[in-house]
Amino acid sequence: MHRLIRSLLVAVGLCVTSLCAAGLAAGSARAQIFHPTQFTLENGLQVVLIEDHRAPVVQHMIWYKVGAADEAPNVGGVAHYLEHLMFKGTPEIGPGDFSKIVAREGGRDNAFTTADYTAYHQLIASDRLPLVMKMEADRMTQLAPPADEAKRELQVVIEERLSRIDNNPGALFGEQFDAAQFLAHPYGRPVIGWPAVVRQLTLDDAMTFYRSYYAPNNAVLVVAGDVAPADLKRLAEKYYGLIPMRPIPPRSRVQEPPQLAARRLVMTDERVAEPSLRRSYLAPSRTAGRSEYATALSVLAEILNAPTGRLYKALVEGDGPAASASAWYSSLSLDQTTFGFGAVPKSGQSLDAVEQGLDAVLATLLKDGITDDELQQAKLVMKADTVYARDSLTGAAQLFGTAVCTGVSVEQVEAWPQQVAAVTAAQVLAAAQYVFDERRSVTGRLLPKHQS
């Protein structure tokens, strides 16, 4: 995802409110950045439109408020497996034909699954919007993958895991790291699932998940591009409005207990070319934990991770021990998230030196806070990012879908510049002191085999 969209994703909203079922005029009147329109159909489907009439193109996305963290442990990976099966046919559209039809009409389509949501999207000419809405509504209710197709697709998922995870030591390390960070919460399980569990998934498992969660009252329609609000409302009512709402199981997740001790792990692999360090701290999101710190943490991430920010100056520049160093924080998570760091040492330097350098950066931050210059520069960068964020149909649609599916309202997305502008240096320091507690940390090292 483009950096400016990532910046906006981590900077929206301060606290949780529900998405208002506002009328068209009311939705537009409060717009400040994207000028979104929002409404809710009688069956509970939430709709968000970001108009952009520069080209006759639309990005159409259906988001379901369910992801890998909502699975039962014995069917881990079923949300992602179902995502694959959604392309395997209905009584109206044959297996694999959905994407073929979109491509034939000059469009592109795909889907993705995360811990908190699953999304299906098509980028297509605006006069073909009724077609993709009709097909997406069809598979919302009429999914019927043949058993042989489902069996073959499970092998595709297994091969995907093999190529993306099992053959990638960095990805394997990431799984181990997440499992160390989240002892109880399902964020500690991989979205694609653990190998032994994935191999045992069945079509019945996927269809049970589908019938439980895929309903209009558990979905969000986000459209960005060349369509007027009244036209979108008419089309949404025509294609999605007749689908009946259904009872949805409550999102009942085991919450992470307080972390009382720092955790460390070391992984070695003969495929690793150079060692690396990773550190993360359990952190609040917009909707979980001490959410009042979320905006200040977003600003702090910009200060630390800027091209000439604190990490670069202390760890990389001049005689610093690291060849690269970065920080990351994403506040759009339904439950508690993490604030993380990563670094790779320069040739001849040790991971001990890199870790000591990172510790020194954090110690100085916790003692002295940030400067007014750092604060103002971070705000300027985050403000500039929003100027360009409007240019991406895909990025705009992804931003609003992610926000709404993690409990952040459209109004909060629009209001984030004011919230960032209001952040003070004292608030950033308070947020850092809360999050960067050694007891809440996990530190990991990924090493070549010969360094074990």
Same-domain check for residues 214 and 292: no
Q: Which of 173, 205, 239 is the last residue of a domain?
A: 239
51 included as an active-site residue? no
- The pLDDT score that the predictor gives to residue 385 is 82
3-state helix/strand/coil string of 252-304: CCCCCCCCCCCEEEEEEECCCCCCEEEEEEEECCCCCCCHHHHHHHHHHHHHH
Residues 308 and 191 in one domain: no
CA–CA gap between residue 45 and residue 61 (Å, rounded): 13
Orientation angle between helical segments 372-389 and 410-421, nearest 10 degrees = 150
- Cα separation of 346 and 319, whole Å? 10
Summarize pLDDT for 161-210 with one digit per residue, the tens.
Answer: 999 999 999 999 999 999 999 999 999 999 999 999 999 999 999 999 99
Say yes or no: 105 and 230 in one domain: yes
Q: How far apart are CA 420 and CA 34, in angstroms?
A: 17
236: tokens are: 């949404």
- H or E element, residue 326: strand 322-329
Instruction: State pLDDT tens for residues 135-168.
Output: 999 999 999 999 999 999 999 999 999 999 999 9
Residues 272-294 as b/e (b if ≥16 CB within 10 A, e otherwise) read beebbbbbbbbbbbbbbbebebb
Q: How far is Cα 377 from Cα 313, in angstroms, rounded to an integer?
A: 15
Q: Kindly give, in sequence order, each residue whose CB lies less than 8 Å from that of residue 176, ignoring residues fewer than 6 positions away.
A: 265, 267, 444
Q: How confident is the model at residue 417 (pLDDT cuts 50, 70, 90)?
A: confident
Q: Are residues 48 and 191 in the same domain?
A: yes
Among the listed residues 51, 71, 83, 374, the single catalytic one is: 83
Domain match, 128 and 270 both: no
8 Å CB contact between 419 and 14:
yes
Task: Tell me if 138 is assigned to some domain.
Answer: yes
User: Tell me, what CATH number does 50's domain have?
Assistant: 3.30.830.10
Tokens of 318: 């001049």
- Is residue 199 assigned to a domain? yes
| Number of compact structural domains in the chain | 2
- Residues 230, 308 within the same domain: no
- 242 is written with which tokens? 């007749």
Q: What is the mean pLDDT of residues 429-445?
A: 97
Does the pTM exceed 0.85? yes
Within a domain: residue 247? Answer: no
Residues 414 and 344 in one domain: yes
Tell me whether residue 9 is in a domain: no
Which of 199, 224, 239 is the endpoint of a domain? 239
Q: Are 234 and 349 members of one domain?
A: no
- Asked, for residue 268, whether it belongs to a domain, the answer is yes
Specify whether 155 is located in the same domain as 268: no
Q: Which domain holds residue 300?
A: 263-451
Contact by Cβ (8 Å): 446, 276 = yes
Q: Is 294 among the domain residues?
A: yes
Q: Does residue 256 lie within any of the structural domains? A: no
